[in-house]
Amino acid sequence: MATGVEIVDADAHMIEPPSLFGELMTRFPDQIGIRTDTRLGVLVEGRPYPYYEGPGAGCPPQNGMTDAPGVDPGSPAGVLANADVDGIDAMVMFPSFGLCVPTIEDPALGSAVARIYNTWAADFCSRSDGRLFAAAVVPIEHGDDAIAVMTEARELGLVCTVVPPALKTRNLDHGDLDPFYAAAADMGMALGVHGAPGIHLPKIGVDRFTNYIQVHCISFPFDQMTAMTALVSGGVFDRHPSLRVAFLEAGVGWLPWFMERLHEHYESRGDWIPGGWRKPPAEYVAAGNIVVTCEPDEKSVPYVVEMLGDECIMFASDYPHWDGAWPHATSELLAHNEGRVSDGTLARVAGANARRFYALPERARP
């Protein structure tokens, strides 16, 4: 960048290729297939992914990507060329279809799909000259299987593990998940809370809407507030003080307000939660347990910095999805923040915080 600021995209996305779907359908013909009702999509265990009609409807596959000319997420070279156009130095890549893995009910199938995806993602990023990094998927509903898959993903070099905002019948503070959190903390694996409508995750608020855009408006922030409430008030960070969790794709403006709301309940009725949180909620932000990602055009970054400091915010482009800002994500980030925050704060938000959170290796700049 002309400004000299390193840009690390903390939440970009893979677009899984037809060859990956072909491998899944070949290996699991009785459990994974193509929809045959004239609608685009994949069937997993008889369920359509995504479902894009009815309560909590997801995005139709043909509308999922940006229509900006020149987008090319199909190869490492294409992604890097797109990153160069937008001035992005490094990217942490989350799944698209792969976000469905936590909802797969058969433990053996969930583990196998996760391993296939993680291996493919690791290979994809290995051909990027140290600029692309992948987030892993795991069958988190299935205890020891999830830990085994996460361990293997870490050995493959993946830098984060995707966690859904809530499980089918459990919230993220359920005691059954403690071995998973302990394993993540022990191996230094960051967790990224990332939902998506239309992939059979619990419907949190979105059951009121059948229009995808209305669903999209509330799904991500409601998901993240649910996840944060569980992790903070449920004492997860007290039991696992080195655990690092990113709350993704909901922006940053909600964080100070929600911290204040959580604090009000902590202060007045915190003892109503047996074994619940032991510290004021903002202390988990200060300790590095909690980070969030900002949208490129958000105007609330200076306010969040004033309230909670500048180490809890990471830049994210959402490349190459329809609601991302590529190829203008970096220019929008700089335009909305240069002169409104210090140079040091801008450098941390733009890249340094993400490099630290994901424990990315330092890369020599040209």
For the residues of 71-114, what is the DSSP string, one character each? Answer: --TTSHHHHHHHHHHHT-SEEEEEPSGGGGGGG--SHHHHHHHH
Provide the residue type at 285 as one letter: V
Q: 10 Å Cβ neighbour count for 283?
A: 16
Structure tokens at 346: 């801008």
Structure tokens at 361: 């290796």
The candidate with the shortest Cα–Cα distance to 117, out of 201, 256, 20, 247, is 20
pLDDT value of residue 3: 60
pLDDT value of residue 19: 95
Residue-level pLDDT, tens digit, the chain, 366 residues: 336 899 999 999 999 999 999 999 999 999 999 988 877 889 999 999 999 899 999 998 888 999 999 999 999 999 999 999 999 999 999 999 999 999 999 999 999 999 999 999 999 999 999 999 999 999 999 999 999 999 999 999 999 999 999 999 999 999 999 999 999 999 999 999 999 999 999 999 999 999 999 999 999 999 999 999 999 999 999 999 999 999 999 999 999 999 999 999 999 998 899 877 889 999 999 999 999 999 999 999 999 999 999 999 999 999 999 999 999 999 999 999 999 999 999 999 999 999 999 999 987 554
The candidate with the shortest Cα–Cα distance to 173, out of 284, 244, 276, 281, is 276
Please give the order of strands across the beta sheet that includes 132-136: 8-13, 90-94, 132-136, 160-163, 190-193, 245-247, 290-294, 313-315
Provide the residue type at 150 as one letter: M
* Number of residues that make up the chain: 366
Place of tokens 């130095």: 89
Structure tokens at 350: 């733009």
CA pair distance 147, 243, nearest whole angstrom: 15
Instruction: Looking at the chain, list the stretches that DSSP marks H as alpha helix, in order from N- to C-terminal side.
Output: 18-27, 76-86, 107-126, 144-156, 178-187, 212-233, 236-239, 254-269, 281-286, 301-308, 329-337, 343-347, 353-357
Q: What is the pTM of this model?
A: 0.96
The candidate with the shortest Cα–Cα distance to 80, out of 126, 120, 128, 121, is 128
**Are the C-beta atoms of residues 337 and 347 closer than 8 Å to each other?**
no
Provide the residue type at 209 as one letter: F
Instruction: Give the orientation angle of helix 107-126 with respect to helix 18-27, to 10 degrees.
Output: 150
Structure tokens at 260: 């204040």
The CB-side HSE value for 317 (13 A sphere, CA atoms) comes to 32
CA pair distance 323, 65, nearest whole angstrom: 8
CA 115, 121, 124, 128 torsion-angle sign:
negative
- Angle in degrees, CA 116, 28, 149, rounded to 5: 30
